[in-house]
Structure 1
């Protein structure tokens, strides 16, 4: 690359950084800088094999407005997908996922940055209820699974009355994540019907 092209790229990058500085919200400003300067290898790429559910979650979350942190529910046939992004994080955000896929209930957290471990100890605090479990890390570290089938159902039943879920873990990427699940008991009905519980 010639010096002239490098100078042009540097000038364009500097101008984009100045535009980030104009964001009024600190969180939006940080997100803008992250999108501009973070190494793209940290987010999943096409070279990483991820399951169809991952891509469905991405597609659903792309339709979300920037200030919406509530549950989104979509249903197609007997497949139901519920997603909610972590509050207080910058894009791309971790996403709490509840799904009925092939008649199996799934309870997961999808992470934009992969974990390098097979299991994590996780405590889910929900309006005074406290559930501590070992969750499995799947799909090249991007999916943390709280169970599927009966284990997922048993956990979810304990959380139905919650308005917010807060995660506590020794794993920094999960510790302190907060999810607004207001109305979960009503909004989960299509999932319960599809997965027959």
Structure 2
């Protein structure tokens, strides 16, 4: 009889503790859902990219540089409804940013442009990394979106500078001077070893 009472008390105790665990789990799930909703709202509010060209050169390059046009079109489409939509969009933007390096028009194939594209691509990859974390740092994502916008403006202004420099006419003899200053055409500075046999 005593064993039955002890068994009954232990069953009641176990059932009671399971109910408490379920209530804690439900409360934690509700708290997590509210947190994810707040993160989603913060990201949605901050997700505004400069998808229209700021400078004249960037606007004219849309017709000749297909990757640039596709990249800006991808930035223009804002995801909606869920965090996973933002994650998918971030991955798509990353792919388009990496593609920018593949077919840079000859006019813009300069180290200043390439370095700005590299920095922009790095920032976008960081955004993609942070948005795919389990605990999404919404403040860091907001900061990265602002930094990406600054890099976009910097790239477009550099494109404008390149176009302006190309409009400057070259002076007489300038091309010959550039050829003379070209390091690839210079005579190599070779140290002659006196111990090596020579044919005279």
Which structure has the larger Rg over C-alpha atoms? 2
Higher relative CO (CA 8 A, sep ≥ 6), structure 1 or 2?
2
After TM superposition, the score normalised by the length of structure 2 is 0.22
Structure whose residues are more often strand by fraction: 1
After TM superposition, the score normalised by the length of structure 1 is 0.22
